[in-house]
Structure 1
Amino acid sequence: MTNKQSATVIVNGGYSPAEVVLTQGVPAELTFKRINDAGCLDQVHSESLNFSEDLPLNEARTVTIDTSKAGEFPFSCGMDMFFGKVVVHP
């Protein structure tokens, strides 16, 4: 059994995958990698997960995800036009 979870979200005209499923209570990291220079996807933020990151083109940016609470936690681009979510299962 692993003691850490990680997932990568490719940012290319949206988020892929747009939904990341994690297990509650297991430390987690989410890595965003932007491979397309279009539009407002040069930033990602989530008020409920307490992160905001600039996403330079072709550079990975990793954020730590708090998995202490189960639920669905949205994230979006800087202009709130593109959305994804983290789902934490008990």
Structure 2
Amino acid sequence: MEKTQTVQVTVDGGYAPQEIHLKQGQPATITFTRVSSRGCLDEVQSTDLAFKRALPLNQPTTVTVATDQAGTFGFSCGMDMVHGKVVIDR
């Protein structure tokens, strides 16, 4: 069984890190933790990766990311104003 790739993202007026690198074909999760009530970052969504989650303040929220296809996939806040990306490498 393959080890799951895990990435922690701090949401504080933006995403840190803003660019996430994952290996193709290896299970992956991203945990978003919103630490500031500034801006429109109370939600994270990705049409490319098929997720949309509310981000309660100071509560880690984990999404599972499909890594079957290599490429660059975007994610953003609920208002599509703040962006990040997931790069899935072969």
Given the two structures, how large is their TM-score scaled by the length of structure 1? 0.97
1:80 has 2:42 as partner: no
Q: Which amino acid aligns with 1:72?
A: T
Aligned residue for 2:71?
A: 71
| Residues 1:20 and 2:20 are matched in the alignment | yes
1:1-90 correspondence runs (5 A): 3-90=3-90
Q: 2:46, 2:32 → 1: CA distance?
A: 13
State the 4+ residue runs in structure 1 displaced beyond 3 angstroms: none
Deviations 1:43-76 (A, max 9, x none): 0000010000000000000000000000000000
Structure 1: 5+ residue stretches without partners: none
1:46 & 1:20 partners in 2: Cα distance? Answer: 14
**Separation (CA, whole Å) in 1 of partners of 2:26 and 2:14:** 27
Query: Letter of the aligned partner of 1:77 in structure 2?
Result: C
Give the alignment's Cα RMSD to 1 decimal.
0.7
Unmatched 5+ residue regions in structure 2?
A: none
Q: Percent identity over the alignment?
A: 52
Q: Quick one: distance in 1 between partners of 2:72 and 2:9?
A: 16
How much has 1:4 moved relative to structure 2?
1.0
Deviation of 1:83 after TM superposition, in Å, equals: 0.2
Aligned residue pairs: how many?
Answer: 89
Deviation (angstroms), 1:3: 1.7
